[in-house]
Chain A
Amino acid sequence: MGEENKSSLIKPDLEAYVEHLKSESCRPVIEDSAGPISRMKLSDTILKLCQANSLWPMTFGIACCAIEMMGTGMARFDISRYGSEVFRPSPRQSDLMIVAGTVNKKLAPVLLTLYEQMPSPKWVIALGNCAISGGPFKVKGNYNVIEGVDKLIPVDVYVPGCPPRPEGLLEGILKLQEKIAGVRHPLPQNRHPGSPLRKVKGLKLK
């Protein structure tokens, strides 16, 4: 009875499971990024600034980091001054997915379904050690925890911590804004010395 039930014989193979999930999902949407929406430099710059200024996150709090994400949205840390005024529950209305918590085998298809439902352009922040690499659950006998959400979907910003402070998440949002628009906290555009709008010829700014 002990021989047949040795854990090593039928231990779930997590890598094979992740590969199987990725092969079944809509690969082009996950692997290729959406190109620029318009081909004109000025409108592209303005669109990027608008996107960076109003990232709407989707509520995908899983575990402990979700409480810090809620705390960031509340009155003391106030994520809405950086544009993320509303946390949308529906993936169709959001463009930022903050994966806050541990992703495990049962939750991985759910994550992929939600990611595929989000319209492009979309970004992902991996919040906390569990979403970056499995965190404290990356142990020798691991049979359930996916070690890092970037095995499933492309991640733009990693925010380490267990759990990270709300200021850490705010820094992650600012870094993402820098990645999108080239400058942290683009608003107010016309007063920021590093704003790319200043380099556009003929645009009168105060």
Chain B
Amino acid sequence: MKCRTCGKKASVNMRQHKLALCKEHYLEWLPAQVERFIQKYRMFAHDEKILVAVSGGKDSLSLWDILHYLGYQADGLYICLGIDSSTSLGASGGADYSAESQRLAEQFAAGHGLKLHIVNVQEQTGKTIPEWAEASLRGRGKPCSVCGLVKRHVMNRIARDLGYDVLATGHNLDDEAAVLFGNTLTWSGEYLLRQGPVLPATSGLARKVKPLFRLYEREMLAYALLRGIEYIYDECPFALGSTSIYYKELLNKLENDRPGAKLAFYLSFLEARKKGLFAEQEQVQQELHPCPNCGQPTSAPGLCSFCRMVKH
């Protein structure tokens, strides 16, 4: 297989685009695609301050790398969740998962001369994520729900307190298609209305963007490998056997037989929603109230979910 640009031996073949590229041209092509999506979906401009949520994984570190390469003002935020061998709720392979992720995020920041904010959940709230999962009704046995809640809260708070215009996450097409697939199986109309590459800023919430949402997870892995980015390879011990991974595997089987199926599934969803396939936005849009404790918007009057969990 040869590179379409120069004819040298190809390193990456993207069957969904009928495009094969060598290392050199792939590392030019992918950031150019990200720049195109940032512009097309009006995610942010070069004069805006961006906070990139980094987990130590390939997607978030690659996103930070690309934004830096494209000349954006992007700082990182690492949230230490406290997932290690002593607090893994019986999950296997959890030894020092958070410590290793943090080390890799710090190493990347230091190597590129970038600014990284670190928030330790245990220091801020008194408990690690697995401990919160045990203590609250929200996540008995499986801390993913608590983890999502805490991460969203911390990301919003840091973005707001430190004056960032936009919060960028490393969600790729496979992440988005898996969530869409799950929401479609249950026809969760409200979630389907909210899912998208750009969530506009509301009072108390920074704009959230997903610049990698049209890139396959396989493409992001190829980028990380070719750029030599050291990332955490192991799964989060709590993600093993999760439905999101199962949906990703199912979609990969579909993609294997029909290249481009994942991309078409997600893009046609965005197009259908734009044309009003789902309920009118006004009918389901909820009024948001500021939380009396932290000030972040919440759907019901009174404390937000995070503050309710921490107070109880």
Answer whether A and B are interacting partners.
Answer: no
Q: Which residues of B does A touch, CB under 8 Å?
A: none
* Chain A contact residues, CB within 8 Å of chain B: none
